[in-house]
């Protein structure tokens, strides 16, 4: 990713030269971006075709299905889905329109709301899950050896741990 125009003089004290990716690192980075973009598109198209919902909505339904009483506070759902509260509100409105989710006011907090997975939403999720897991298995796990799967899991855990905010007041989109 080194820039091609180096006519600008850089003062190392005020603007140090970046530690550019090596050619091998650049290949790994671009392969990662290419694969994750294709994988997300593949899963999104499968869910749109088979369940008439985008991948992000499927993920919201899964999280609600795994929550106690199939309900989560909207702020917690946004945080766990890693999406802004505004985007979540829009998604939940669409899921409500389909009858798959409903909102409930929080009795202990006048401003808070819960997203609740309806019986109809659970049925839709149960019908969509087999096709989704087949798509995940075919696109990822069947292409890797067991050792590669283990390595990928370890690598992704290391990356995720390194990106988790350490400070309580971090400016993260899903906290806005």
Q: What tokens were used for 135? A: 């798509």
- The CA distance from 151 to 92, in Å, is 35
Do the beta carbons of residue 98 and residue 111 sit within 8 Å? Answer: no
DSSP letter assigned to residue 18: P
* pLDDT digit string, tens, across residues 30-76: 999 999 999 999 999 999 999 999 999 999 999 999 999 999 999 99
Q: What tokens were used for 98? A: 């389909």
Kindly state the average pLDDT of the residues 11-18.
71
pTM for this model (two decimals): 0.82
What confidence score (pLDDT) does residue 61 get? 98
Of all residues in the chain, the percent with pLDDT exceeding 90 is: 72
Q: With cut-offs at 50, 70 and 90, classify the pLDDT of residue 130.
A: very high
DSSP, collapsed to helix, strand or coil, labels residue 143 as helix
pLDDT: is 161 or 102 the higher one?
Answer: 102
């Amino acid at each position: 990713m080194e820039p091609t125009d180096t006519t600008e003089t850089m003062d190392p004290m005020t603007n140090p030269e970046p530690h550019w990716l090596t050619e091998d690192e650049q290949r790994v980075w671009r392969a990662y971006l290419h694969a994750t973009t294709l994988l997300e598109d593949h899963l999104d198209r499968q869910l749109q075709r088979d369940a008439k919902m985008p991948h992000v909505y499927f993920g919201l339904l899964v999280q609600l299905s795994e929550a106690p009483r199939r309900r989560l506070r909207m702020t917690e759902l946004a945080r766990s889905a890693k999406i802004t509260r505004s985007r979540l509100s829009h998604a939940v409105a669409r899921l409500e329109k389909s009858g798959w989710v409903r909102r409930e006011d929080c009795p202990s907090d006048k401003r808070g709301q819960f997203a609740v997975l309806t019986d109809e939403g659970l049925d839709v999720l149960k019908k969509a899950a087999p096709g989704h897991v087949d798509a995940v298995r075919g696109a990822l796990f069947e292409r890797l050896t067991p050792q590669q799967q283990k390595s990928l899991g370890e690598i992704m855990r290391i990356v995720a741990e390194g990106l988790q905010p350490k400070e309580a007041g971090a400016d993260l989109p899903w906290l806005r």
